[in-house]
Amino acid sequence: MNLYFNKIKRTKGNITLASRSLAPPAYSYHSIGDFDVGKKGWGYKNFTVSFARTEEFWRLQRLSYISMRYTINNKDGVRFEPWHVKII
Ligand SMILES: [Zn+2]
């Protein structure tokens, strides 16, 4: 809740904009099996679109049991998150 309120404050009260990068409390798919992945040694850069240009990203794309939760222009209106995967 605190993270979400701080995000709303940083977006000057724009809840729609805040929700594009941080799920409201109780609405995160992380609680039902989604997880974030990254390239070892990349740190925060893993949480940028640059991750979509890594070999690690493309190796994940070839796995049949996971897929990306938030693709480009996803129907949820969430930003593109190549690091966020879901179990199929
Ligand atoms: Zn995530």
37 with 17, same domain? no
Residues 18, 51 within the same domain: no
Q: What is the pLDDT of residue 26?
A: 87
- Domain ranges, residue 75: 33-88
11 and 43: one domain? no
Task: Verify that 41 and 25 share a domain, yes or no.
Answer: no
Cα 2 from Cα 52, distance rounded (Å): 30
15 CA distance to ligand 1 middle (Å): 18
Same domain, 25 and 3: yes
Q: pLDDT for 20-41, tens place per residue?
A: 889 888 888 988 889 999 999 9
45 in the same domain as 22:
no
Q: Give the tokens for residue 80.
A: 């593109």
- For residue range 26-81, list pLDDT tens digits in order: 888 988 889 999 999 999 999 999 999 999 999 999 999 999 999 999 998 899 99
Q: Do residues 44 and 20 both lie within one domain?
A: no
| Strand-strand pairing, 66-70 and 81-87 | antiparallel
Q: How far is the CA of 29 from the centre of ligand 1 (A)?
A: 8
Q: Which residue has the higher pLDDT, 25 or 84?
A: 84
pLDDT at residue 56 in the model: 96
In what helix (H) or strand (E) does residue 26 lie, and over which residues does it extend? none
Cα of 17 vs centre of ligand 1, distance in Å, is 17
Q: Do residues 62 and 87 both lie within one domain?
A: yes
Together in a domain, 15 and 38 = no
Contact 21, 7 (CB under 8 A): yes
86 and 51, same structural domain?
Answer: yes
What's the total number of domains in the chain?
Answer: 2
- pLDDT at residue number 66: 95
Residue range 5-20, pLDDT digits in tens? 999 999 999 999 999 8
CA of 13 to the centre of ligand 1 (A): 22
